[in-house]
Structure 1
């Protein structure tokens, strides 16, 4: 909990600091990468850096955390922190790196706000930072312990065992540990990070959902041809190629039980849903399950056959599809619209896909009376939802 003195200082300065966070985070990353170029080259997603997505996500997270500390001190931003912690563990982030972030973030705050950063202001925001960092470090320590890995020691070599095209622009890769050991267990809906060395010498890391159930033979990831790592995987990851994978991470995991489910996806967001459905089939689930997917066209739909087959094998599941073009007469034309879709009472919803799709789907579900705590989502890349 933030101290009373710092609470008043943060409340008074939050508008000024919050309004400058865009510039602060831009200068923070520039300063940190100038001093530690290896972080930009080997840890951070340089595509997100170039687009500004990472700094917008960081600014949104800091503002959201500080606002909650002063306005709702009795509430912990658990979902936001859990999502960040899982992402950090999937990248191999360690406690000592928080000290580096602190150094350059506070240098950027002083650089942007100048004399407004009095010793009292600096101390208050320092407290905010270390409260947030402390919560994240504790969460990440528990995740490392649960995975059986030492902090940062998350990487294992896997060998590609098959490649299967999916739709017009995606590729499914199955992988097994190169040493022949069993792949670590995971929860349906989780992802792994994949680290590759690109031709310019950079080691870049991306996250891909596991698109088959726990218990399947090895792991399966599905990669849309979009971005430098995905392009490399499409062109260079052949059968026999060895890739470095992290331990499974992610907090969008399928809740066990008998409550009804809504699995709603768009585009490549279908991947965790296929993994969840595969798990439901393998475990003989009978719970009511409504599956919704939207895509540009049937030709673009990755795992279309898997989705149809898995839904058909579940006794209480139904599939609804929307396509922007070339929709068969059995499906709908346009964007996914949950407004009039029959939904059972007491359902738990899982969303994955482009941010506009998830925002629209969540808004519709809330309007239909589904509590926000029963609506879960996964964001590929920086979480810009909290950034606005």
Structure 2
């Protein structure tokens, strides 16, 4: 029997979201029903609302979530009922060519729940990133549930479900930041500050935060940035070079997703340095770099998928670090809100007034 819950639904491009009744089916094979406790408001949710991801409306928004497993399909042995889990949008298949080569973080056949959640009239909903967690309960693939220490606060734990993990992973997993490195991060929202945090965790000697918003630069300092650059007032490439003895940074994380800032990242790195793109571009964007410059500078140009994370490996470790006081996840939470305040949270996100609004259920 399906369960009726409240959920936040986007019915059309750039229309205000609605809190409405959502029908959630009992879990079938390979599925899990999760009672959502907290879900962060991410830029990706706003992109779904605005029609920037696809036109498969209506969308059930929300994906950066933590909660408790209430039921599982008959064939599911992990997770089990009662587990406290962080939801992820890359449930690995274990069978594709990446998984078979021991690289499940690059799984090419990730999956979601098979059964659709619907509106009361039976209209199927498209869950954001296969999760749909701006709802009191959601149905996901069992592999999208990662068990973590239940003593973690849900509003903090859920942030690993997307933005913060993407940023930390961009610096640590994709960029391989290490002790003594110089790391520059361009764009200091939730993902960028995650990258700042990851660089600090990795022991970087210099962490240079770049943004045009003074508030975001102050947030970056709180996460451990040793230097900040207001790109609206000065040339960030020149400042990064000055801070790094004229050489450029060992690693530059681009957390904006635009050709202009990517070009800045490219020229702000040291010879044989690394650029990691974790900011999400739009389909119309194009990059124009002299091929000779690409050849002459050497190093690596990488893209980071979800911080190249493996949830079963990374989520429990990062939660443990948070509980030990070695990872300040709580600093990412600007405010706690209710389901009916998601539309307002989008406005605050656009204006840069929040790092993360978190819906509490």
Query: What is the TM-score with the length of structure 2 in the denominator?
Result: 0.34
More strand by share: 2
Query: What is the TM-score with the length of structure 1 in the denominator?
Result: 0.32
More helix by share: 1
Higher CA-based Rg? 1
